[in-house]
Amino acid sequence: MLELLRQPWPWYISGFAISLIMAMLLYFGKSFGFSSNLRTICSISGAGQKVKFFDFNWRKEIWNLLFLVGSVIGGYIVSQWLSTPDPMQLSASTINDLKGLGIHFDGGLNPSQLFGKDFATSPKGFFILLTGGALVGFGSRYAGGCTSGHAISGLSNLQVPSLVAVIGFFIGGLVMTYFLFPLIF
Amino acid sequence: MKGLKFILTGILFGVIMAKSEAVSWYRIQEMFRFQSFQMYGIIGTAVVLGTIFVFLIKKFNIKDFSGEPIEFKDKDKNWSRYLIGGSIFGLGWALTGACPGPMFVNLGYGYWPMLIVIAGALGGTYLYGIVKTWLPH
């Protein structure tokens, strides 16, 4: 059984579980949207004293921070007890395309070339990771949600604005992948 | 403990995202290069089943655990924010291979450089709070 759980889980299990998580949060009287936590953390750090956007009752959002803590624990559980040493099954064409950019597939979840110590502590690497995060943080608040809030919660509620946001996610993602990656890497 | 259910739901989320490799930088690249069905399968299944859940909740007027009606807020219809904000988000998603949830799942997994990405995300959120009033919404 444990051996089976250690294998990668198929997309339909994952998709089903994510919709279940959304439904569970609705049943708890909340809604599934992860990026709100970033605003809450800013607010707890005192950003509300200077910027009105962060001046709200963050105590009502503690439930979502607990969800965040759980997600960190979940990642830890998988890396400690539920993973296999086998390399990930990545499509051969992706491996090839990335090789063209000088990024080698090493079998892990994330390339050690980008998420290893050497890159993260180099000025260029640090800047790339920080900027990438900033784009995600700025963009998700500007768009009013991220993948969970728009692509899952919003689309499930047939919200056209969420569909526009998801189209935006792809415009940005494709521009980065096809036009900016060759300049960055 | 009232908060425990949220921690447990979060753990389920973290485990699912890691085990289905949705937190993988490589998988996000595969998705943006249209070279695998995995990510589309995950999001597609979640949306189809999610739509059914939302439909059933509305149709049968299902209450939450404390007996309150479950309310769905319609998103306001200011298109530019979704398109521009969404595109900015997409640039960062492809670059770091992580949207906000997976940043934290990856951190738990042991990818500590995600702390830099998270710091950036907090900085980006803060910046939005400052310039919000000058942006088209």
10-residue mean pLDDT series, chain A (185 residues): 89 97 97 97 96 96 98 98 94 98 97 96 97 98 96 96 97 98 96
Cβ neighbours around A102 below 10 Å, total: 8
Residue A110, classed as helix, strand or coil, is coil
pLDDT at B128: 98
d(CA A126, CA A165): 28
Tokens 């890691």, residue located: B18
pLDDT for A169 equals 98
Q: Do A150 and B86 touch (CB under 8 A)?
A: yes
Apex A51 CA angle, A47 and A54, nearest 5: 60
Least CA distance to A67: which residue of chain B?
B10
User: What pLDDT is stored for residue A3 in this prediction?
Assistant: 85
In this prediction, residue A76 carries a pLDDT of 98
For an interface test with B, give the residue of A31, A109, A113 to mutate (most B CBs within 10 A): A109
Q: Decide if B12 contacts A17 (C-beta within 8 A).
A: yes
* pLDDT at B121 (0 to 100): 98
Q: Which residues of chain B have pLDDT under 70?
A: 1
- Its pTM surpasses 0.90: yes
Residue closest to B120 by CA, chosen among A119, A126, A129, A134: A134
- Quick one: DSSP state of residue A33? -
Residue A97 burial (CB count, 10 A)? 18
C-alpha pair distances (Å), A133 with each of A10, A39, B13, B109: 28, 14, 21, 18
Looking at the DSSP assignment, which residues form a beta bridge with residue B69? B63
Whole-angstrom distance, CA of residue A126 vs CA of residue A115: 10
Nearest beta carbon to residue A79 from set B32, B36, B110: B110
Rounded Cα distance between A143 and A146, Å, is 8
> B27: which chain A residues are within 8 Å (Cβ-Cβ)?
90
Contacting residues of A for B51, CB less than 8 Å apart? 155-158
Instruction: Examine the predicted complex and report whether its ipTM is higher than 0.90.
Output: yes
Q: Where are the domains of chain A?
A: 1-82, 115-184
Q: Would you say A79 and B109 are in contact if contact means Cβ atoms under 8 Å apart?
A: yes
